[in-house]
């Protein structure tokens, strides 16, 4: 990379980024204190401390120079800082939150609550009846443009400043405000109705007197609430009872975490065992719940029943909870409410998304400020030329009002209407069906993107897992040899019916065929010497482990007509049902269970305490579930302890990521190498292992585990320690490889984006090898490109050396893990970002959702370029909301990302057309439209300036009331607005030559250069029109308004024609319609075409308009104002054509 970039511990005068400092100071405080690195200089190279430059041994905290804060500092902006901090303090004081505390909740006794809890009402409204008007007005007038018009319009109430009619100022402003208020009011009413509908939903509440109906908003902490199947859960609850015989139910959580898979929830055993519902009031029990927090995947609490001896204590975890906004998918559930309203997990996790403002809007805002400055300067010049006579200050203000058309109010209206039109065009595009525009204010951003940050699973890949590989250490099976595994499984279970015992022994002891008895003996005596197993028995063990070690539940479609049958018969019928579907929280697990079904070992039933497998011969094997250890992102593994019904043998199965399992399984020489091989093929790997337990071993473990689960302090650590005592010297069974297939056309789309100059970063939670492999297979990293894998670093010294090594590489892709990234950003934020931004592609693996958003903000702050984030799951929402432009894909993981995004698409390949075609058109059209509307205001202001200067600098308006309103609306609005249909390049050409997109990111279509060109055009045309009218019509001076206005309207229509690059039939209609409206108004509104107050009696007669002199003179003025511009445009296109015109020709 660029060798010139110095690696400083902290950049001099670097901007302090509050977001990172706030999160990091807490996270790294302890590390800072212990770190001895702060006491010694950092090595610039591996050779040692040769470099003596002061930069490299200055400490971060020593480098923060203390500024002197005196009077000078106060006057030069210090007062702003002080005012800002005071306002922040007052704001935080007013908005301070009540401290959230742990609580004890008595079943069915809300009155026993020690403190007041929030009301269980959903409130998504922005305003109330009192804050609506001030709130909306503030949102409008915080923009310079609108505030300026308000001041100008208000000035017209002062008689000495009044120019023309009030409606010429208040009508456009009132129209803009009315439209905005109506839109906000409609949105607010929709939100109110939606909230009211949710809050009015009725639920069954259990009381001492029986079941009563209660509104969702009236539910309190401690209430016992009944929720039916397919009903939304109204508040966070602990699951007490269910109508399902298994004591468990499924819930759908797609509205909470974006995942479409059903989650299994378990009722509290003590309350599920009670004979009837009414008994919930006959017991004296309470729930201890931790304080409300953000994490939706964890919960710690205890259930205690006091009215029996001894008291019953049961630990509660995430599987006993029912969070608000989830939906019951099976059975009826009864729960006790523990959190309501603002304290529920769903509300705590709802962040207010920021109002995104497009780069084009910011650029136009800057130009309006420049125009305002020009307007004030022009007014001062006019007053100065008057010689500052009389009340010059009043005259100055009158001139400012007179030239107020320099900044046209129609700019905001036209641009907003244009954005709506672009959104409509995107949604109507047949080539990208299903695309939805959710934020209509930023379509131009699609044409300015430099960085695209994408998720992997479900975005670049389909999130459809297919089992591809089984590796046993000495032998490997692929898709083409799966039939061999099937034959081995059939042989393993093909025992004579008389030898049922042997068969069962074979399954539990994992022997095959004739070798079942020795295997059984070996399993019962773990200390016996190892015997090398046959391939058949090892396959059998591996397949059985995969079929047992999971969290998958088979679900059957309930069919009518089965009511009369016995349970057993119904069960048999269900087991052979073709409509069996599997539900699990991970698609990987479903793929594994489907594969075991395909080779002959089928999971047919599962409840809380047991699961049943069907062998190829149709025999049902039952296993009792003793313990389950679910998968977590920290442990990266899941385990299950089962007891086989036939033999009573206890086995502990475990599967997980290779990094987690390598230290748990017995020594072997093949696991690491094979994991690497599979990862290079793009497969997601899982290591499967087992351990046989004696009854004594298990009983000892169970007592320690139960004790750890009931502890109130450091529960997670204690439980983890107990489980780890079991995870030692496990027998390695197999390694599985599952493929996540790429989405359609991912490769050509990524290539298209790369050719367009967009840098693509892949941010994924997956492991390094798989992420690297998908980056290669999707051609995110081209085959010829080098990949630099950033070594794991844990402190500043390591980060420094690794960054130095990376700096020497040129044109190579970077792969870095989330942990190493965190360390680099802590010590070398600026240097790391600068190096990473020079890479053609970056892959960040093992990223948390907050890290994804952090990377987006980093790029925005360090590069000042526009970023786009694309993802499909709930874990991508924070990244999508942080980016300048967020795109969500409706995928397997639900609609959460799609609903939170600015644009929603159905497939990743659609992003190519969205950016290259619609992004280009939206930006180019808005730039042309914005500048043309400004030109329309500047030309009339130039004419006004010329008119005033000729009439002794009098602050008298040239055009009266309706003419000014008509000029900005009916006479020129339609042709100017028809520019939203213009296009410089055909869609096919834009997709064929994505290199054209690079020009857009430079922002040349709307810059100070193009703006100054339009200013010069406006001054030239305004001067020609006014001087031409005064020179040619000396004898008909009384008609100068009609003459100059006619030429002005014709000039505007011709200028639209000059600007258009591709004609559309609606453009032609708009031109002729506007011309027709103007000619009609000449006849009907002739009283407006006199010369102001000078000739109030001089009305326009039709005879004057139809004279040849009038016609040729108006034509001459129009030609002189427009012809030179047409000639310049022709010459420019001939001798210096833009890149797109070469292609379109």
Which positions are catalytic?
Answer: 455
644: β partners: 623
Q: For residue 72, give the H/E element and its range.
A: helix 71-73
HEC-encoded secondary structure of 328-376: ECCCCEEEEEEECHHHCHHHHCCCCCCCCCCHHHHHHHHHHHHHHHHHH
Under DSSP, the state recorded for 156 is T
Under DSSP, the state recorded for 644 is E
CA distance 1131 to 1137: 9
CA distance 660 to 652: 16
- Among 777, 739, 770, 685, CA closest to 471: 685
The count of other CB atoms within 10 Å of the CB of residue 85 is: 10
CA distance 116 to 119: 9
CA distance 998 to 708: 60
List, in sequence order, every beta strand (DSSP E) within 115-219: 202-207, 210-215
Cα distances from 737 to residues 635, 672, 674, 683, in angstroms, run 20, 14, 10, 5
Cα distances from 138 to residues 133, 141, 147, 152, 377, in angstroms, run 9, 5, 10, 17, 29
Residue 613: strand, helix, or coil: strand
Cβ atoms of 65 and 14 closer than 8 Å: no
Cβ atoms of 826 and 17 closer than 8 Å: no
Under DSSP, the state recorded for 512 is -
Cβ atoms of 447 and 920 closer than 8 Å: yes
- Among 677, 687, 703, CA closest to 769: 677
CA distance 735 to 656: 10
689: β partners: 654, 732
Strands 210-215 and 301-305: unpaired
- Cα 882 to chain center, whole Å? 7
Cα distances from 102 to residues 105, 343, 472, 1006, in angstroms, run 10, 12, 49, 56
State the number of CA atoms in the 13 A half-sphere of 12 facing the CB. 5
Where on the phi/psi map is residue 48: left (φ > 0), alpha (ψ -120 to 50), or beta? left
Cα distances from 778 to residues 547, 667, 742, 750, in angstroms, run 32, 35, 7, 8
Phi and psi angles of residue 690, each rounded to the nearest 5 degrees, phi first: -145, 165
State the number of CA atoms in the 13 A half-sphere of 304 facing the CB. 15
CA distance 869 to 432: 19
Cβ atoms of 746 and 778 closer than 8 Å: yes
CA distance 1089 to 551: 83
207: β partners: 210
- Cα 409 to chain center, whole Å? 34
Torsion sign over Cα 1128, 1130, 1136, 1141: positive
């Amino acid at each position: 990379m660029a060798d010139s970039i110095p690696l400083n511990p902290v950049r001099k005068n670097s901007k302090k980024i509050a977001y990172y400092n706030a999160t990091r100071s807490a996270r790294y405080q302890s590390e800072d204190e212990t770190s001895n690195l702060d006491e010694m200089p950092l090595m610039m190279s591996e050779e040692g401390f040769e470099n003596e430059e002061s930069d490299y041994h200055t400490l971060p905290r020593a480098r923060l120079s203390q500024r002197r804060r005196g009077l000078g500092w106060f006057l030069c902006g210090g007062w702003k800082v002080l005012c800002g901090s005071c306002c922040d303090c007052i704001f935080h004081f007013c908005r301070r939150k009540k401290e959230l505390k742990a609580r004890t909740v008595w079943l069915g006794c809300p009155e026993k609550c020690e403190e007041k809890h929030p009301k269980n009402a959903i409130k998504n409204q922005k305003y109330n009846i009192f804050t609506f008007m001030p709130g909306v007005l503030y949102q409008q007038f915080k923009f310079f443009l609108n505030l300026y018009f308000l001041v100008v319009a208000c000035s017209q109430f002062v008689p000495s400043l009044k120019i023309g009619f009030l409606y010429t100022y208040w009508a456009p402003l009132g129209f803009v405000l009315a439209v905005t208020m109506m839109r906000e009011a409609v949105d607010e009413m929709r939100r109110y109705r939606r909230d009211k509908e949710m809050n009015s939903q009725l639920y069954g509440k259990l009381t001492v007197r029986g079941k009563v109906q209660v509104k969702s908003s009236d539910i309190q902490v401690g209430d016992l609430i009944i929720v039916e199947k397919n009903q939304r859960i109204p508040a966070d609850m602990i699951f007490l009872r269910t109508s399902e015989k298994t004591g468990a139910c499924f819930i759908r959580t797609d509205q909470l975490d974006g995942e479409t898979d059903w989650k299994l929830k378990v009722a509290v055993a003590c309350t599920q065992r009670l004979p009837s519902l009414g008994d919930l009031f006959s017991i004296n029990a309470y729930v201890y719940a931790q304080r409300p927090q953000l994490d939706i995947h964890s919960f710690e609490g205890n259930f205690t029943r006091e009215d029996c001896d001894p008291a019953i204590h049961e630990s509660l975890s995430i599987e006993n909870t029912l969070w608000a906004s989830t939906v019951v998918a099976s059975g009826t559930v009864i729960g006790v409410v523990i959190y309501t309203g603002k304290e529920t997990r769903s509300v705590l996790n709802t962040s207010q998304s920021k109002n995104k403002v497009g780069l084009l809007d910011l650029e136009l805002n800057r130009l309006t400020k420049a125009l305002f400055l020009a307007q004030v300067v022009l007014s001062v010049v006019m007053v100065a030329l008057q010689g500052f006579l009389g009340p010059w200050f009043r005259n100055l203000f009158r001139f400012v009002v007179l030239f107020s058309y320099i900044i046209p109010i129609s700019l905001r209206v036209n641009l907003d209407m244009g954005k709506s039109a672009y959104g409509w065009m995107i949604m109507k595009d047949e080539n990208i069906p299903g695309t939805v525009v959710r934020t209509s204010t930023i379509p131009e951003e699609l044409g300015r993107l430099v960085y695209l940050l994408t998720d992997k699973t479900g975005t670049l890949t389909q999130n459809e897992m297919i089992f591809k590989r089984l590796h046993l250490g000495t032998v490997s099976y692929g898709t083409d040899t799966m039939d061999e595994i099937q034959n081995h499984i059939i042989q393993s279970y093909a025992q004579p019916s008389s030898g049922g015992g042997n068969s069962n022994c074979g399954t539990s002891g994992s022997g095959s065929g004739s070798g079942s008895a020795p295997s059984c003996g070996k399993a019962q005596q773990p200390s016996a010497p190892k015997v090398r197993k046959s391939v058949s028995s090892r396959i059998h063990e591996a397949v059985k482990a995969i079929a047992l070690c999971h969290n998958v539940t088979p679900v059957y479609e309930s069919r009518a007509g089965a009511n009369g049958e016995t349970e057993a018969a119904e069960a048999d019928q269900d087991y052979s049902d073709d409509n069996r579907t599997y539900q699990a929280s991970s698609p990987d697990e479903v793929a594994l269970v489907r594969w075991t079904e395909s080779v002959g070992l089928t999971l047919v039933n599962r409840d809380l305490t047991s699961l049943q497998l069907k062998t190829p011969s149709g025999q049902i094997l039952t296993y009792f579930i003793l313990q389950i250890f679910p998968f977590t992102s920290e442990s990266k593994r899941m385990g299950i302890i089962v007891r086989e019904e036939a033999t009573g043998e206890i086995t502990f199965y475990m599967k997980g990521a290779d990094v987690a399992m390598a230290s748990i399984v017995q020594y072997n020489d093949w696991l690491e190498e094979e994991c690497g091989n599979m990862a290079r093929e793009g497969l997601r790997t899982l290591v499967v292992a087992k351990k046989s337990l004696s009854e004594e071993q298990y009983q000892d473990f169970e007592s320690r585990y139960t004790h750890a689960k009931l502890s109130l302090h450091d529960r997670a650590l204690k439980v983890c320690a107990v489980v780890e005592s079991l995870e030692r010297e496990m027998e390695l069974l197999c390694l599985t490889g599952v493929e996540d297939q790429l989405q359609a056309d991912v490769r050509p789309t990524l290539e298209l984006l790369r050719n367009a100059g967009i840098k693509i970063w892949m941010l994924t939670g997956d492991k390094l090898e798989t992420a690297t492999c998908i980056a290669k297979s999707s051609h995110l990293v081209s085959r010829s490109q080098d990949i630099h894998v950033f070594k794991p670093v844990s402190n500043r010294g390591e980060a420094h050396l690794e960054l130095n090594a990376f700096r020497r590489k040129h044109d190579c892709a970077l792969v870095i893990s989330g942990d190493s990234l965190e360390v680099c950003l802590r010590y070398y934020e600026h240097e790391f970002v600068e190096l990473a931004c020079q890479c053609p592609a970056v892959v960040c693996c093992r990223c948390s959702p907050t890290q994804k958003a952090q990377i987006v903000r980093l790029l925005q702050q360090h590069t000042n370029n526009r970023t786009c984030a694309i993802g499909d799951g709930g874990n991508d929402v924070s990244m999508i909301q942080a980016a300048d432009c967020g795109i969500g894909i409706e995928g397997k993981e639900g609609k959460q990302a799609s609903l939170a995004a600015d644009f929603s698409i159905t497939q990743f390949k659609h992003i190519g057309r969205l950016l290259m075609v619609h992004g280009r058109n939206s930006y180019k059209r808005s730039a042309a439209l914005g500048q043309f509307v400004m030109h329309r205001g500047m030309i009339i202001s130039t004419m006004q300036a010329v008119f005033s200067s000729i009439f002794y600098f009098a602050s008298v308006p040239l055009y009266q009331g309706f003419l000014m309103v008509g000029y900005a609306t009916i006479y020129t609005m339609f042709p100017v607005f028809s520019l939203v249909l213009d296009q410089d390049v055909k869609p096919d050409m834009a997709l064929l030559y994505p290199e054209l997109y690079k020009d857009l990111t430079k922002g040349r279509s709307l810059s100070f250069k193009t703006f100054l060109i339009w200013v010069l055009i406006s001054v030239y045309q305004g001067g020609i029109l006014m001087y031409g009218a005064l020179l040619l019509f000396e004898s008909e001076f009384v008609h100068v308004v009609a003459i100059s206005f006619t030429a002005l309207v014709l000039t505007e229509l011709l200028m639209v024609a000059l600007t258009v690059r591709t004609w559309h039939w609606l453009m032609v209609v708009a031109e002729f319609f506007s011309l027709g409206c103007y000619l009609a108004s000449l006849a009907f509104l002739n009283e407006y075409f006199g010369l102001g107050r000078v000739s109030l009696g001089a009305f326009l007669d039709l005879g004057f308009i139809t004279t040849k002199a009038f016609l040729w003179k108006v034509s001459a003025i129009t030609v002189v104002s427009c012809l030179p511009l047409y000639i310049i445009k022709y010459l420019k296109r001939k001798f210096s054509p833009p890149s797109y015109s070469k292609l379109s020709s």
